[in-house]
Amino acid sequence: MRKMAYYKGCLASLSAKELDSATQALAPKVGIELIELESVTCCGAGDIHEAEPDYYLHLNARILAYAAAQGVDTLLTVCNVCTLNLRQANFMLLGDTDLRARVNENLVSVGVPAYEVDVDVRHLLWEIAEGEGYELLKTAAHRGLKGLKIAPFYGCQILRPSKIQGFEDPDRPWSLERIIEACGGEAIDYPAKIKCCGFPIIQAREETALGELIQPIEQAYEAGADAIVTPCPLCHLSLDAWQSKLKKATGRDFKMPILHLSQLVGVAAGLEESELKFKRHVVSVKPVLEKLEI
């Protein structure tokens, strides 16, 4: 078992609790022991970076410091936006000793341990797409997906900016496809899989956001996908919950089930509904489960 600090983020703590429970149940099957961090806050989701950037840096440094205090070298995330915010802050601190010293002084003055030993921020996707995690995944996914057609949806911030994320070619990503195939599904190909779901502006500019959101759903639908899978709970929320608004705006009801990455692998690994919590989805996942005879 590889020990990792686990940063849930806001959504998996609150409205996407199904992501948290599926991840907790899946982790030991892919060789990861999660150490949940308690004294941590929101990463700012890009919003605090834009509103009060110095506070953003300090908040994220505090999360990194508490992860390092666990004596692990990896902070595991399950959200694209958390991953980018934490990695960006981490690189700022690792690459600038003066900045790190100033931030550490401030952390210590409010009672937070200084961020001294470096940690690496990694998304669950990267841990199970290659190496030991991938090998274990192939064994764990014994129930399989019976050739279900799954449309991978990466979302933006797991791929871009690539100089910060850097796991795979942002224009030719392969990690989700590889996982889908290892689980016994068929990966569907469509152009919008690396584009934006519109979530960051879904409240402030809903119409513009819906114009983005419709692309992956419509393209996956036309390619015959049984479901879309995403590594990001924000993408999940817009793809799942805002589908009803697409129906209102366009008259088209796609009824496209949207799965979290942990749920897709979890269902192939034989996890129970009590762990996967598909009932918490707005768009019913029933057609998928029926095809899998679950």
Q: Which of residues 111-170 bind other proteins (CB under 8 A)?
A: 111-112, 152, 154, 156-157, 160-170
Shortest CA distance to 270 belongs to which of 245, 251, 241, 294? Answer: 294
For 23-56, the DSSP string reads HHHHGGGGTEEEEE-SS-----TTHHHHH-HHHH
Q: Could you give the string, one character per residue 183-222, with x where binding to other proteins holds by CB under 8 A and - elsewhere?
A: ---xxxxxxxxxxx-x-xx-xxxxxxxxxx-xx-------
Task: Note whether 274 binds other proteins by CB under 8 A.
Answer: no
Asked if residues 252 and 222 have their Cβ atoms less than 8 Å apart, the reply is no
Select the residue interacting with other proteins from 110, 274, 290, 293 (CB under 8 A). 110
Stretch that binds other proteins, among 24-32, 107-115, 136-144, 256-264 (CB under 8 A): 107-115
Stretch that binds other proteins, among 135-143, 179-187, 255-263, 268-276 (CB under 8 A): 179-187
Q: Which of residues 44-63 bind other proteins (CB under 8 A)?
A: 44-59, 62
Select the residue interacting with other proteins from 20, 127, 177, 226 (CB under 8 A). 177
**In whole angstroms, what is the distance from residue 8 CA to residue 287 CA?**
29
Q: Which of residues 74-103 bind other proteins (CB under 8 A)?
A: 88-89, 91-96, 99
Distances (CA, A) of 168 to 1, 171, 228: 25, 9, 20
Q: Is 184 exposed, middle or buried (0-12, 13-18, 19+ CB in 10 A)?
A: middle
By beta-carbon proximity to other proteins, the closer residue of 209 and 269 is 209
